[in-house]
Amino acid sequence: QEKLLESGGGSVQAGGSLRLSCAASGFSFPAVSMAWFRQAAEKKREGVAAIYTNDGSTYYADSVKGRFTISQDDALTTFYLQMNDLKPEDSGMYYCAAKMASGGPWTYIHAYSSWGPGTQVTVSS
């Protein structure tokens, strides 16, 4: 059974850092890409960052460029999101997601077939 599990969320003050991890298990073959999405209260889920597993190419939302870094381990079983210089507007539930087929923009939520339960990030001013 394919499973994703996030960890590393928490509460920090503005300017602080957090590192999120996403452990993938049960996949018969590596995902085409892995992404981090977030959802704040009463807002739509939005793409934060994505990494394509074959070549390590990365993509970021404009709001996090230069502050967040997505990465993967060599075994392609754990994915990370390093978040620096956090801002209150970064608060929300963060989800990792796996996309098993190529095509379409990385931000298209419905292209991702597996999702983790999420980890909460709260940034106070």
Give the mean pLDDT of 7-18. 98
Give the mean pLDDT of 98-104. 88
Q: Please, which residues have CB within 8 angstroms of residue 83's CB and are 6 or more apart in sequence?
A: 17, 18, 19, 20, 64, 67, 68, 90, 121
The pLDDT value recorded for residue 120 is 98
Residue pLDDT, tens place only, 15-48: 999 999 999 999 887 889 999 999 999 999 999 9
- Answer whether residue 104 shows pLDDT above 90: no
Give the mean pLDDT of 55-84. 95
